[in-house]
Every structure is written in structure tokens, then in C-alpha cells.
Structure 1
Amino acid sequence: MNVLSGDQQIQIIACLTEGQSIRATERITGIHRDTIMRLGERVGRGCAELHDRMMVGIRTGRLELDEIWGYVGKKQKKVERHELSHKGDQYTFIALASSAKAIVSYHQRLLKEAHQPRCGGQPVRRSLQSLPRP
């Protein structure tokens, strides 16, 4: 089993965070796309765990809510019935502490589930009710 060196891992993550596609990263680094995807998934899980540990008890006077649209695999109008659970339009809902420019909470949902925005697994209105009043 081959193991990526620290320098190779850094190069891959640098390419991905700069917006390079997985295939472009494969061409640049010479490392197979499956390996790049496994590394990206592992780093992503670690980032999510770090975010969940660090973003606790945040006090902010103003919270901005936003959504970002994207698609997974193909756009919604091209998705076939058997693909609905894992492909199509996707929304990412973000709660941003405007003073600190920190993402306090986020949640991703496919279009079929996106009828009610949620942040951190909770409905947005419940998240807002838990904020301290100035």
C-alpha cells in the first residue's frame, strides 16, 4: 500500500482549496483521482469535527443567513427517479456571524429536502431563538 507523503497531501489540499477540479489536481500532481477523493473526504471530515468543537458558545450581535445552490452529479431536470437520493440540485444553508466573519453553522440538503432551511441540523428559527438578546 502506497502512502502519500506530507508534501503530496499538502499539494493536493492546496489545489482543491484553490478551486481546482479533482481531475486537474490529478494532472498537476500525478496522483490518481480516487486517492485525491479519499484524502479530500478524510480532510473534510476532520474539518467538520474541528468546526463542531470550536464553534460553541459564540456570542454575536448579528447573524446573517444565506444559501448557496449547486448540483451534485447533474442538474435536477436531468436526474432520473432512481438517482433522486444522491444526485441533483443541492443547497447549503449558512449562518454567518457578521462581526467575526465566522461560519457558525451550516447544513447541506438536496432539493427534495430543502423546503425548510436548517442550520446545524436545527430549523433556522430555533437557532435564532437560542441567541442571546442584546
Structure 2
Amino acid sequence: MNKLSQEKRCQIVAALVEGNSIRATCRMTDTAKGTVLKLLRDLGQVCAGYQDEHLRDLPCERLQCDEIWSFCYAKQKNLRDEYKRTFGYGDVWTFTAICADTKLIPTWRVGSRDVGTATDFMQDLAERLANRAQITTDGHVMYLSAVEDAFGANVD
């Protein structure tokens, strides 16, 4: 099995960070698509582990939470019936929390736009904070129970 040099890995990551597509990165770095995807997956797992371990006891006091819509494969309305109830096809939502003061994103969650995902997201956020915080959302109904379940009365 061939191993990419440190220089080549840095070149690939730099291209992806700059916003290049997978295919453009493959062309620019003369690397196979599977190799780029494997590096991206491995890097993502390492970064997620680092974030999970180190972003704890954060002093954030003002957080803004929202969700971003995207889609995989096809938009929900254009999906074939066999894919409509399978996660990873159609609508996908990325929940984010951003500290209004530092712009740090202490947690994020990818999933459906529902109470279950919102609750998991808020519970993860609550576990990362050291102090009472002010949470600002867009007022979507799913946040009502999610914030209360995660923070109880310890939130503004």
C-alpha cells in the first residue's frame, strides 16, 4: 500500500480548505478520488475527536444556535420513493452553535430537522459549557423542549 507524503497530504487538505471540489482537488494534486476521500474521512474523524476531547468547560456566555439546510443526492421533493426515508438522501440539516463573542463553534450536529436531533445537539452543547449561558435561536418549536431538556432552568 502506498502512503502519501506529508507534503502531498498538506497539498490536498489545502485545496479542500480553499473550497475546491473533490474532482478539482484530484486534478490539481494528481491524486485518485478514492485517496482524497479517504484522507478527508480520516482527517474528519481526527478533527471530530480532537474537538470532542478539547472543547470542554468553555467560558462561552452568549451563544447563537441555528440550522443550515443542504441536501445529499437530490432535493427531498425530487427523491425517488426508495430513498425518501433513508438518512443521507434528500434534506440534511447542520445544527450549529456559535459563541457571539469569540466566534468559536463549540458543537455542531448533522441530522434531520426534528426534536430528536435538536435535543442531541443541545445536550452536547450543555455538556461543553462551564457557565450559565444565554442561548439565542430562531424560535423554531423544536428548540423549546430541546433547550429545556438540556439546560433545565440553567439558561437565559
Alignment partners' CA distance in 1, 2:3 and 2:64: 42
With the length of structure 2 as denominator, give the TM-score of the two structures.
Answer: 0.75
Alignment partners' CA distance in 2, 1:129 and 1:45: 31
Structure 1 or 2: larger strand share? 1
**Which amino acid counterpart does residue 110 of structure 2 have in structure 1?**
Q
Aligned to 1:89: 91
Matches within 5 A, 1:107-118: 107-109=109-111, 113-116=112-115, 117-118=118-119
1:82 is displaced (CA, Å) by 2.2
**What secondary structure is seen at the aligned counterpart in 1 of 2:109?**
strand
Matches within 5 A, 1:92-103: 92-103=94-105
With the length of structure 1 as denominator, give the TM-score of the two structures.
Answer: 0.86
Alignment partners' CA distance in 2, 1:120 and 1:3: 40
Aligned to 1:31: 31
**Which amino acid counterpart does residue 3 of structure 2 have in structure 1?**
V
**What secondary structure is seen at the aligned counterpart in 1 of 2:2?**
coil
Alignment partners' CA distance in 1, 2:150 and 2:14: 33
Change (3 A) 1:131 1:48: farther
Contact 2:123 2:151 in 1 (8 A): no
**Which amino acid counterpart does residue 67 of structure 1 have in structure 2?**
E
Q: Which runs of 5+ in 1 are unaligned?
A: none
Alignment partners' CA distance in 1, 2:153 and 2:51: 19
Alignment partners' CA distance in 1, 2:152 and 2:62: 13
Change (3 A) 1:132 1:23: same
Alignment partners' CA distance in 2, 1:106 and 1:19: 20
**What secondary structure is seen at the aligned counterpart in 1 of 2:50?**
helix
**Which amino acid counterpart does residue 79 of structure 1 have in structure 2?**
L
Alignment partners' CA distance in 1, 2:15 and 2:94: 22
Contact 1:62 1:99 in 2 (8 A): yes
- Alignment of 1:43 with 2:43, yes or no, is yes
Change (3 A) 1:2 1:129: same
Instruction: Compare relative contact order (CA 8 Å, sep 6+) and give the higher one, 1 or 2.
Output: 2
Alignment partners' CA distance in 2, 1:69 and 1:54: 27
Aligned to 2:75: 75
